[in-house]
Amino acid sequence: MRFLLLASMVLSGMIAFGQAKNPALDALSRNDLNSLSAMLDDRVEICFDNRVQYLDKEATISAVRAFLSQNPPKSCAQMHTGAGKGNASNYVIGSLASSNGKNFRVFIFVSEKGDKKTIQELKIDLQ
């Protein structure tokens, strides 16, 4: 009986932890550009290794596709989150490990636009 109680508590914790996962980081880790595209604003500030560009959604996906083809994701973990005043904006910082052995810091800034939140900024820097 104790085993069942302990197992259910562990599984509940695992399920709750899984639900807290950031959908944008999850899309990056799965190389799921369709899901990522649905989260992007019409124009996104994108930064790879301190090179900043302002791109439309299609160009942003092309840039991310090129990055992920050179750095296939092995795993992506959320490290930190934060919210702006009134929760109208928030950010997430994650760590992306690629299968080629490189590790990257990922910063995603999300802001309300109309009735939904969209990704306004995406930064990926080599750690």
* pTM listed for this prediction: 0.81
CATH architecture, domain defined by 22-126: Roll (3.10)
Name residue 5's amino acid: L
Residues in the chain: 127
Which sequence spans correspond to the domains of the chain? 22-126
Per-residue pLDDT of the chain (127 residues; tens, 9 = 90+): 554 444 444 444 433 334 348 999 999 999 999 999 999 999 999 999 889 999 999 999 999 999 999 999 999 999 999 998 888 899 999 999 999 999 999 999 999 888 899 999 999 999 9
Name residue 38's amino acid: A
Q: Reduced to 3 states, what is the DSSP secondary structure of residue 27?
A: helix
Beta-strand pair 40-48/116-126: parallel
86 C-beta neighbours (distance < 10 Å), count: 7
